[in-house]
Each structure stands twice: as C-alpha cells, then as structure tokens.
Chains A and B, each alone.
Chain A
C-alpha cells in the first residue's frame, strides 16, 4: 500500500512539473505584451518589461519562476501591480472551494440516491423518469442552466438573489447549475453499476441464505457499486472547477473562476500562469485522494500491495 501511495504521489509531482512547464512556455508564447495598449509608447513598454524581467532569455525566466514556485511564490499580478498572485488565490479560493464542495456533496447525494432508486425500483415508470431525466440533464450545459435559472428564479420570480455568495440562499442557484451534470452522471454510474451488481451470483446467494433485501443491498451490492462513483470524483471536481468559470461570472461571485476569466481577458500573464498551476494542483490532489480511497476499498489491491 505504501508503495502504491508513493508511486501515485510521484506521478502527481511529475504531472505538476509538466503542467507548470507547459503552462509557462505556452503563456510566454501568447502574442502581444500585457503592457501594450494604444496609449503607451514602446519605450515605456520595454522599460516595464525589463522591470518584470521579461527581457531575459526564456529559459532563465523559467528557472527563476520554478524556483519561486517551489517556495510557494506565484509572482505578482501584471495588470494589478502590488497584488501578488498568492494573495489573489488566498482571497478567491475559499469562495470557489465552498461552492465546489457544496456542489460535489449535492451531486453525490442526489446521484447515488437516484441511482439506487433506479436500480432497485420495480416500477418501469420510476425507472423511465429517472433515466430519462438523467439523460436530459446530462445534455444541458451548466452555463445554459445558470442563465435560465438566473432569468427565471431571480429576475422574473425574484425568489433567490442574483449575485454574491453571502447567505445560504445565495448558494441555491449556482450550486444547482454546477451540480446538475455531475449528478446526472453519478445517477447513471450508480444505477448501472448497482444493477450489474444485483445480477451477480453473490447477491442471489445472499438472498438464498435469508438476508433481507435491504441488508443484501447495503452490505453486499453497495460496496462494489460505489467504486465507479469514487472513480468519477476526480473528473467531477475538474468539471466543477471549470464550471465555476462561467457560473461565477454569471452570478457575479468573487471566486477563482471569475478571477481566471478576468485574467484571460486582461492578458495578465502571471495570473493566468499562477491560477492554471494552482487549479491543476487542486485537480491532481483530488484525483490522488480519490484514487487512494478507491484502492483502500478494494481488498484485493490492498493485499497485493501489502505483500509486495
């Protein structure tokens, strides 16, 4: 087990390095200077670029950037001199994290619940409604839903606030918009996995030995059915993070996603770089945790690594 963890962490670190390097060079390749605008003369641009070290060879810039990264220093925002990227992350990340966690929890609860219902329900009506609903929901992009929710529930009906994230009520619309798609995917995953599991012989045997339906479901089938769901947590968190780009813009939430979109339109090199590396790190870490959890749930794997 320890070897597996070590191996996964090592892969994660390499992935982080590759991510940082690729992002760094790509960002440097973006045409145009962040300080270029009609008003400033080229000599001023050059002076400022020198100030930020942009005139040095690319590789040297890269080394110094990586050196700073290792110390947790993401650099200073170009368009907002004086504010460090780390500060921006510190300010915006908790907002996005709380929104994302809420959405993840909601989609997990709704998804596994509906998926279980889908698998165990005997009524074809319920099955059709759930699987049809999941199908429909997975076809609605989060931003479309966000816009429609905003139009209907805060503009027309005025039930929910349209911007900010200051009260639980503020969470309702953005979380719904974010979690619909992952919830639909989890419903399908749970439903399919559980249905497949319920057809296995050990479930039949559990019934033959006199266990009730609920016990059979919880102690036997569920354990296997939740594995694909666990595997989806990584992709889901990546999805939620990118989903926050638009949802935060639409609902004017001061999170990391909105900051990222602004940094792109503002061509803020260090901010794009810093936020990309940071978000990549988050996704890699979440993936790592989900993988380790999945491995821990699988006794066969646990044993294989204990022995090796």
Chain B
C-alpha cells in the first residue's frame, strides 16, 4: 500500500505538487521557530508595524514581533492540530465503522443511528462549546474536533466493510475457520484502506480550516500561543492601515489548504470510490 502510494505520487503531478507544498510547510514550520533569528513572542517597541523588508520578511506587528517567525510557528501549531485530530478521527472512525459494518443487524443500526444523531449538529458548534468549557488551547481544540469529526470516516469504513464482508474471499476465510477479528484485520480493513485513507487526508485541511476559523473568531487558541487564525485576528484591528500583516498569514494558510486538498483529491482519484458508486 505504502509503496503504491509512493509510486503514484511520483507519477501524478498534482499529488507531487501537494507533497512539495506539505513538505515545505513542515520544513519551514520546524526550521523557522528553532533556527530563525526572531522568537514569535519577542516584543520590540522600536520596530512596530514595519512593512515587508529584508530583515523582517513579512514585516512586524503592532508589538514589534516578527510576523515571519510568528506565521511559521502558527503554521506548525495548525499542522499539529490538523494531523493529530485527523489521526484520532481516522482511528476512531475506522474502528467504529468496521465494527458496525461487520457486526451488522441491530448493532449496526444502533451504532449508525447514534452517529447520525451526533453528526446532525454542525461540528463547529461542538468545538466552540468545548473550547468554552475547557478553555482555549491546542488540546481542547483537538478534543472538540474529535467529537464529530470521525463520523464520516466511520460511514465510509462501514460502507466498505459491508460490501467486502459479502465478498467471496471473506466467505472463504470464514469457511477456513478464521476468527472475526482476523478476518477484519487481515482481509477486510486492508482492502478498505484506500477510501479511508483518502478521507483521513481530507480531514487534515478541514481541521486546519476549523482551527483558523475559530481562532479568527476569538474562541480558538489564546495568546500568547499563535496559530494562523490568531495572527490574522490580531492583524484585523489594523487591517486598513497595514494590510500586509493580514495578507501574509492569509496567503500561507490558503497555500497550505490548497496543498492538502491537492494531495487529497489526487489520492481520491486513485484510491477512492467513484462518486455515487457506494
């Protein structure tokens, strides 16, 4: 599977572009905060609201903090939130969907009804409530994203398992006396991994987007922690005077989302199920 993905990425230009963007993102998010000359929290009254210059590539904000350092620190936080929540959601969703699909009958009905009910409320509302209760922070953000984020993965996993469960090779394995767990792990899940993987990849940009959105509203991360959303929010008060303070993190955010979406849809073309094909 991993080999197939790698081979495909090398062949598909869109997937390659997405990977390059993602790679550059990780590279800068690690490099700039650790090795850059400026810290994301250092305030310097002497250089407030500077424009783009050689010293400060993205300029400085109203406290004289270097925006370039802040943006990449924030990008790192966004990535951590995106990856962590996608991973957790992917695992919960795959397990839940697999169990539901394999068990079938009443169990399936009850589990999927429960999922329907959780999913019928916009996930944004959950995240807002959780951050209000637990206080703003990375952990409560991830927790909030994991309340209903796994449901789509679960539905996809369930659909795949339901379909694969009836396949001849699964029947052959049952005749051979394999345990349900072994059938699930060895025969069904590996064959369902393509669509599940595609879905999990798409969860990353969704989580990054939600985080930025909420931080922008002021309910996401709290100062001094910086994410792309909070940086954009801080710049908003003076966006008419210093638009570059806002534009720079916005562009970085958009490019990141674009890269992730490109990777996702390239993988979808190869490993996903065709639209409407169940």
Contacts and interface: CB of A to CB of B under 8 A. Distances in A.
Do A and B contact each other directly (Cβ–Cβ < 8 Å)? yes
Interface string B116-153: 11101110110011101101000000000000000000
Given A30-B132, A135-B265, A139-B258, A151 B120 contact: no
Given A11-B116, A26-B132, A155-B240, A276 B276 contact: no
A284 B121 CA distance: 7
A241 interface: yes
Contacts of A148: 247, 250
A140 B113 contact: no
A274 to B, nearest CB: 13
Contacts of A9: none
Interface in A14-28: 14-15, 18-19, 22-23, 26-27
A143 interface: yes
Contacts of A31: 133, 135
A189 B268 CA distance: 13
Given A27-B129, A147-B250, A280 B122 contact: yes
A99 B199 CA distance: 31
Nearest to A227: B276
A271 to B, nearest CB: 13
Interface in A194-250: 196-197, 224, 227-228, 238-239, 241-242, 245-246, 249
Interface residues of B, number: 44
A193 interface: yes
B168 to A, nearest CB: 25
Contact of A151 (B113, B128, B133, B243): B243
B223 interface: no
B276 A26 contact: no
Interface string B252-278: 011101101110010000000011110
B185 interface: no
B44 to A, nearest CB: 26
Given A135-B262, A139-B261, A147-B246, A246 B205 contact: no
B218 interface: yes
B122 A238 contact: yes
A63 interface: no
A287 interface: yes
A141 interface: yes
A249 B217 contact: yes
A264 B131 CA distance: 11
B239 interface: yes
Nearest to A288: B120
Contact of A193 (B113, B218, B276): B276
B253 A242 contact: no
Given A138-B261, A139-B258, A246-B216, A147 B236 contact: yes
Contacts of A241: 122
Contacts of A22: 129
Contacts of B124: 238, 242, 245
Closest 9 CB pairs of A and B: A139-B258, A139-B257, A238-B122, A242-B124, A192-B275, A15-B120, A15-B117, A26-B129, A144-B250
Given A15-B120, A246-B217, 8 more contacts: A27-B132, A135-B262, A141-B257, A142-B213, A143-B232, A147-B239, A224-B276, A284-B121
Interface of B: 113, 116-118, 120-122, 124-125, 128-130, 132-133, 135, 205, 209, 212-213, 216-219, 232, 236, 239-240, 243, 246-247, 250, 253-255, 257-258, 260-262, 265, 274-277
26 contacts: A19-B120, A26-B133, A30-B132, A140-B254, A141-B209, A141-B212, A142-B213, A143-B212, A144-B250, A147-B239, A148-B247, A155-B240, A196-B274, A196-B275, A239-B122, A246-B216, A246-B217, A249-B217, A261-B218, A264-B217, A264-B219, A265-B218, A279-B125, A280-B125, A284-B120, A284-B121
Interface of A: 11-12, 14-15, 18-19, 22-23, 26-27, 29-31, 135-136, 138-144, 147-148, 151, 155, 188-189, 192-193, 196-197, 224, 227-228, 238-239, 241-242, 245-246, 249, 261, 264-265, 272, 276, 279-280, 283-284, 287
